[in-house]
Amino acid sequence: MVYVTRRATFSASHRLFNPALSDEENEKLYDKCANPRGHGHNYVLEVTVAGKQSERSGYVIDLKILKQILETEIIRKVDHKHLNEDVDFLKGVIPTTENLAREFWKILEPKIPVGTLCSIRLSETENNSVEYRGE
């Protein structure tokens, strides 16, 4: 078993806002992250696939293929977008880093052609990151 990780980046804006709450409650809960016109980040996405190596290639998974999957399934849909408004698979989702990681998992998990999706790590800033392992 070897764990293989591909890193990708995207730049997006978002607003933390729970529509079930009042504006005051949102501002209290999310503070400056609730700014109505949003703010943004350079997100860093690290996707880890676990598996046995192919005898033919010596790879667990060809990282060019994993790169292409990330590009098609995630990056193209979120890069240079407003995550609350422009992304179909995030409709109705509060775009916290935790929720983004889980939604990315749902999309990527069935698309991994060999091995098993093992971890999605998403960094919002150099100081804040989350990891989701499908648990």
The reply on whether position 117 binds its own copies by CB under 8 A is no
33 catalytic, yes or no? Answer: yes
The dihedral built from the CA positions of residue 122, 12, 70 and 67, taken in this order, carries a sign that is negative
The reply on whether position 28 binds its own copies by CB under 8 A is no
d(CA 63, CA 24): 46
Q: Which helix (H) or strand (E) holds 46?
A: strand 39-51
Question: Which of these is catalytic: 27, 46, 73, 124?
Answer: 124
Asked if residue 45 lies in contact with residue 7, where contact means CB atoms within 8 angstroms, the answer is yes
Q: Which residues are catalytic?
A: 33, 80, 124
Per CB under 8 A, residues contacting its own copies are 1-9, 11-14, 16, 18, 20-21, 29-33, 35, 37-42, 48, 53, 56-60, 63-64, 67, 79-82, 85-86, 93-94, 96-99, 101-102, 124-133, 135
